[in-house]
Structure 1
């Protein structure tokens, strides 16, 4: 694992309280050459409620058939379909008879109401039976939950518990009728991905992307623990990631699994208390822990974070890092984007449009100070927000709410990664 840290400023004034932004950059190793890929375990929880009838369900089934054909016979695969109750369509296990599995997938028919928790809990039980730890649950749904567990926080508790056991949960919101807050919250707590697919083609691409990530996984259960120095305080964690204060001054952040060569960024701000002594001062220690998938070996890297305490006149002339400064502005733009998504979800087009404007303003500021290698990403973001503004007029608030939530997930929770999902 390649690990790099960068402060926006590494000089702080003598006897003056200050704030520093800290950027952690990770890059997963490449897949081992000529190594046998570890067995993958995937459980799909598929919504078959009445709203999925026709194109949506047929498109999902087509994508699942393609998925099965890509997996190895030794990989574990299972399918639970749900409406107002859960049905085990394909018992989780090795794909020794793909034709039989495909026939079972194609036999799924639309049903009644939407009890996502029934399907999810049954899917978890199936996955635990064959995988133990290291598996993925992919939830595919097009509707609002109207039975079973409905509260996002209550559902998040369930998915967080599954992740603690090594099981990742990803969600695919299909069409314009699903509850983006619920599905996004489930994926966040489960350290997985949340994706919006507007149509069957989009759903197929999203499912294929999830499989790409699963098959290319090289490290899992990546966590970052921040040990803050005496009187140092966390001002803000910019990435919307599962985090827990283990003890005063000790924060653990869950990053989930990484595929081969995947890059990730985590950004936070620390308050540094006034220092009476000049010279180097350690303000925090970062501890990055993960499990190498190929050998099931745990690694822990420890990185000290220091600042240089200098006289006030010397600190006054410091120049902030363009890389970190632009990343702060980039993440402030993501915060505005999430607020825009929430406004559109409420049907408040005026507020949503205004917040998209704020998103663009922050991105424009980031573009002005960004180093050259960060410019293409910021410009792509600006183009994406322009598209959201256009789609507000064409497709309406519900569509843009889902589009912007998907974008927020990629640009904030999974910041730095490329494709696959």
Structure 2
């Protein structure tokens, strides 16, 4: 695992409180060329409520058949469907008879109401039977709002966080225009998985294939960053929307989920540094990255000390923030205003949402003015995406805009640095209410 840490400022004035931002860049190792891939475990929890009837359900079934054809016979696959209750369609286990599994998938039909909790808990029970030490992935596919069983976001967050603690990652695929993006995004966040929006069967198939790509190319699992602060140093902010837990005085653990081969990830942290009277190098924190390497299941721990140089006030006065870190700070501020836009769209407040998109564009424009050459293409692509969203905002339903902006926010913060397929919103600009 390649690890690099950059500070926005590496000098602080003595006897003066200050704030220091730290950019952490991770690059996962390539998959071993000559090593056999470990058995993968993939559990699908599929909404078959009445609203899925017709093209949505048929598209999901077709995508799952393609997934089954792609997996190895030794891989574990399971399918649980749910409406007002849960049914185990394909018991989790090796795909020794793919034709039989395909027949079971094709026989799925739509039903009644939407009890996501029963489907998810039944799916967890299935994958826990077979996943073993290498863990697995649960993919929830739903097109609606939960109207039976557990319905509170915090209840689902508790379930998915516990599952992740057991090595089971949870991703969500919001299908169509009616699903609850707040709930599905929260489930993916606490489950350290991905959240994507699929407008149509083709987009759903691409999203399912991308989720399988990540699972089959996974090289590190249970990746966690532990931040340990020196006395009087405070943790001000984690910019990325990732699960974090205080595990002791001055110690915070941040969950990153799994990493696939050669994946790049970026995290941004900010600390409050107390006034220090002693001049010279001063340690303010240490970052400890722990993960389990696949396929060997060997655990690795790498520690990076974070230090600043305490100098006289006049020497610190002329410091210039590191452009790479400052660019990322502006990028992440843009993601926060994008989330506010999503929330406004969800409430049907189109005017406020457009104002938030304008603020998002301004943060990105500011980032572009200081970005180094290597970062400019990414910022420009993000600006183009925001411009397209703004152009769509007057013509496309606010419910759709909320889902598009929420997906974009998730990719820009929780999974910052990861390469993803093109966003679902491309091609939506011509659709009107």
TM-score (norm 1): 0.99
Q: 1:379-398: CA deviations, max 9, x gaps?
A: 11111111111222232211
CA distance in 2, matches of 1:383, 1:151: 35
The corresponding residue for 1:302 is 303
Is residue 270 of structure 1 aligned with residue 271 of structure 2? yes
TM-score, normalised via structure 2 length: 0.96
Partner of 2:46: 46
**Is it true that 1:149 corresponds to 2:142 in the alignment?**
no
Residue 240 of structure 1 corresponds to which residue in structure 2?
A: 241
Please list, as runs of the form range in 1=range in 2, the aligned pairs for 1:15-414 lying within 5 A after superposition: 15-133=15-133, 134-414=135-415
Specify the alignment match of 1:4 in structure 2.
4
Tell me which moved more, 349-358 or 126-135: 126-135
What is the SS of the residue equivalent to 1:58?
helix
Aligned partners of 1:213 and 1:420 also within 8 Å: no
Q: Contact 1:264–1:414 (CA<8 Å) still a contact in 2?
A: yes
Distance 1:335 1:185 in 2: 15
- Residue ranges of structure 2 left out of the alignment (5+ in a row): 423-433
Counterpart secondary structure, 2:215: helix
Cα root mean square deviation, aligned: 0.9
3-state SS in 1 of match to 2:393: helix
Find the aligned partners of 2:341 and 2:406 in 1 and give their Cα distance.
9
**How much does 1:247 deviate?**
1.3
Structure 2 distance, partners of 1:293, 1:188, is 23
Deviations 1:358-414 (A, max 9, x none): 100100010011111110111111111111112222322111110111111111000
Q: Following superposition, which runs of at least 4 residues in structure 1 exceed 6 angstroms of deviation?
A: none
CA contact (8 A) 1:212 1:420 kept: no
CA–CA separation in structure 2 for the residues paired with 1:420 and 1:76: 25
Once residues 308 and 198 of structure 1 are traced to their aligned partners in structure 2, the CA distance between those partners, rounded to angstroms, is 51
Q: Say if 1:268 and 1:162 are closer, same or farther in 2 by CA, change over 3 A.
A: same
- Separation in 1 of the partners of 2:196 and 2:392? 18
What is the Cα deviation at residue 233 of structure 1? 0.3
Q: CA deviation at 1:131?
A: 1.0
Q: How many residues align?
A: 421
Structure 2: how far apart are the matches of 1:84 and 1:371? Answer: 53
